[in-house]
Amino acid sequence: MLQRQLKKVPQLVMRTLTLVSLRRRRKRRRKSWLNSDRDYTYSELLSRAFKTLRQNNPELAGEKKRYTIVPPSIHREGNKKTIFANVADIAKRMHRNPEHVIQFLFAELGTSGSVDGAQRLIIKGRFQQKQIENVLRHYIVDYVTCKTCKSPDTILHKDNRLYFVQCEACGSSRSVTAIKTGFKAQTKEDRRAAKRV
């Protein structure tokens, strides 16, 4: 038993000596960057910068979070109406006001509609789920995603008639364009409503 332990002692001593020598080499390498006159390549400097960045900020080393939302729940009601059932849930997941999302949907689809008591959006016209998904994708690119760090953790706030998107991750802020409604043809219902007023 004692002989076995004595045989292990040289192995342990060798391991500690190699660890100590590795640490000394690393210290020399660190100092060599500062005291050296040689020209370093761009890739060496870049890899050193990223290595230092990862050491000082380990949360940046992880993979980027993938931003996903639930697909829109689209149903038809009759021939001329489309119901978007989970618009409030999608707006909540994007941290946006549902009225702003609805206004963007109406402007992009070139239609109008209303919200019923169950927080479902009733859109005038026949639309497929794919069309609504494309409009929501455009909304996320324009009004949700940070242009600097591509993070979805942003806040939309209004200041002096301008909308600003402020990123929670990197702190950057940018202004976004107001929602522009396209041409809307005047219908008989619109003319009747104007006469009543």
Same domain, 119 and 154: no
Same domain, 91 and 111: yes
Q: Supply 61's token pair.
A: 């080393």
Does any domain span residue 175?
yes
Q: What interhelical angle do 98-109 and 129-139 show, nearest 10? A: 120
Q: What is the span of the domain harbouring residue 89?
A: 70-144
Please write the tens of the pLDDT for every residue from 121-144.
999 999 999 999 999 999 999 999
Contact status, residue 127 vs residue 160, Cβ threshold 8 Å: no
Domain count, the chain: 2
Length of the chain in terms of residues written:
197
Please write the tens of the pLDDT for every residue from 79-94.
899 999 999 999 999 8
Instruction: Decide if pLDDT at 6 tops 50.
Output: no
Same domain, 137 and 76: yes
Distance from C-alpha of 123 to C-alpha of 129, rounded to nearest angstrom? 12
Q: What is the CATH number of the domain that holds 99?
A: 3.30.30.170
Same domain, 89 and 131: yes
Same domain, 90 and 74: yes
